[in-house]
Structure 1
């Protein structure tokens, strides 16, 4: 047992720490049990003597403190590890739906691509356009032919290289005749009638067949169209690949045989009508 004269500002708590006791309650109880009745205190009184225990069991050993500290640190580490594991598990859970979502999105895109591939092209079953094909404008009156200038290389269904069968591409904007190809323009009314066509293509041909190209230029089919700067819409009237019959062929044809094929037509009269003309007749 030690004796200690209390100083101003001392408390059982501060004295317990000073003398390395387990807690202030031990110090207070020990003193009040061993002191005279008149020296019993609830808080230290300056100038009074306090009895300090020296029993090792009442002391706060450093090893115990270290154990407590280590235990607390281990618990803290375990909590942190547990928290990290929970966070990792949560992240994994969050990533799994994300991965599934990505897979679903990928599958949707693949199905979409397959659907697009399987769906028929609007050009399917359509004829390619050749130079002798004709066009029409929804604001015009005449039907000019094409004049191919983008190449002199590819011909549709003609082994002899006849210019009439040159493939028309998106860059072929010239028409035959070049001047006023559609005659008059409905968008230019006047007191004396419609004014002449002022053909002015607005860019290249649209709705071309991009899978078939000549010298890098997409080919035209029956659904291709072109806009005129004046406001008209130009579309394909005839693709130009029809077989043609000249007047000499008409003259040599067997009337009775043709009458079987075309019972409504008076073929002899038709022969007379074709004499003296250079027109070609499309079948």
Structure 2
């Protein structure tokens, strides 16, 4: 039996990159001390998220845009070392003769970049600050085949299903998921957006019968109050570890291959699909 020790982070990050790297380094060290091999840091942990989900372009310049092959991502890879680390950042790109910024998540270890994903689904006014990604794909790492998503991506079943069909054994979603904008609960534990955050995590794991690691921002930034609730979920939709609404590290250990085999033995949700029946307007869904 080969087990994997994995962890999801709930923590507060802001605009100052040096402060963000100090927090990331502390968390990586803490995870290493607990023999974690796969660690997920939140969305926008390098440079912070947006100050609000309204158009905040007049409030500040937004997070610093970092090149995928630039010194900051190399620094993150160096901190990761033997560990596989997933972290969110604002990606600088130059495409079709123009500069673009993406809300992205990168997977690294000491050897460099293992995978990268650009957020596809953009809530509210996020498209005023970022261009949109255009695909979901899984990739191989030393700890297994991983598929990555960012925040609102997980609200769409097709996102995680596309990754599962591409062979992902572990879904990693990084978020800057806030509490409700209206009728906000005094206690985040009772917040309806927190309940949705948790429901999506459990549903995506269960419907695809994959291991699910969910990291999120904690604390506050601008007008946003984040719900924390980082967690590890097994392929049956059961929560193995959870930080609650505060900052922390949710750590769990699992034999991933055995867990997937057990979950899929009788009712295999991927195996038992009938894609020829999933049609709308004459188009066959994946």
Using the size of structure 2 for normalisation, the TM-score is: 0.18
The structure with the largest strand share of the pair is 2
The structure with the largest helix share of the pair is 1
Q: Which has the higher contact order (CA 8 A, sep 6+)?
A: 2
Larger Rg: 1
